[in-house]
Structure 1
């Protein structure tokens, strides 16, 4: 059977369309799930966090601190998002105390100590840690310092009180930044 030029072009077009479909699927699946929930790059930090079953305490805290509009704004932001178990590991009564209206300023300070201006990927963090002799200091939106170091094949964060948290899921891309899921709450001074 003789192939015509139009038949060859049709095959090429079909192959290109299939490649773009598969590429699109790969891109859609490139963002990790969090707590089994899909995190969509087209949604902002707050919209995705609300969908994460392992961030319900964080979402409640962000709402109590009136930070929803800020974290839904254009940003970009890098958020080190502690999971529910991280909040549960705090001393008994800490979360309940922070969520009281009279402690809103303290809650804002704790939450913004998990946020850095700009979009910083896990790869960039790791590269900068190595380039800076094994540790990288980040200044958070609250004005506090987080020290990033390598921990095995991953990265750990240390707050100003010496508390540590490990990045368990890196590079959850958002329309207005990136979330790195962490296992503990970082406590500012």
Structure 2
């Protein structure tokens, strides 16, 4: 399943993500869906419906890089794919891609914080809202890596996991009060050397 249109670092890192969908029921390539969702997120869109609208508006541009054999996937397809893929594998691919494409200078501020994603809870199914801990690079104005947690209280254990994915040597790392834990501080100091 090699995309013949674009062979860049995004595809190098994300083509390895396992697609758990049943072959006979797949209308859209996993890599196309991932590219659309990440590109839309980079443009500041965090709602599934907004990602679909953005992709429809940018279809001509997207077709320069993606095959899109069945057009733009619906917002519900994009959401379902993110429900099915393995979060840890996605997080690792994303962090490795960010480490490759970003230039982090010494003294760059990296802010680590958790956010609860709006629109991810579903009361009828009992699904809790998704909580993400991310590392924000203020100079590049982008997220360098992120880790999904079950809830805000698990943020303390997620921060060291996130730090393991990042190259923070020479950077200034900030965390909120909840994450001023001895283990977190030790890991930051160790990684900076």
TM-score (normalised: structure 1): 0.23
Pick the structure with more strand per residue. 1
Report 1 or 2 for greater relative contact order, CA contacts < 8 Å, sequence distance ≥ 6: 1
TM-score (normalised: structure 2): 0.23
Pick the structure with more helix per residue. 2
- Higher Cα radius of gyration: 1
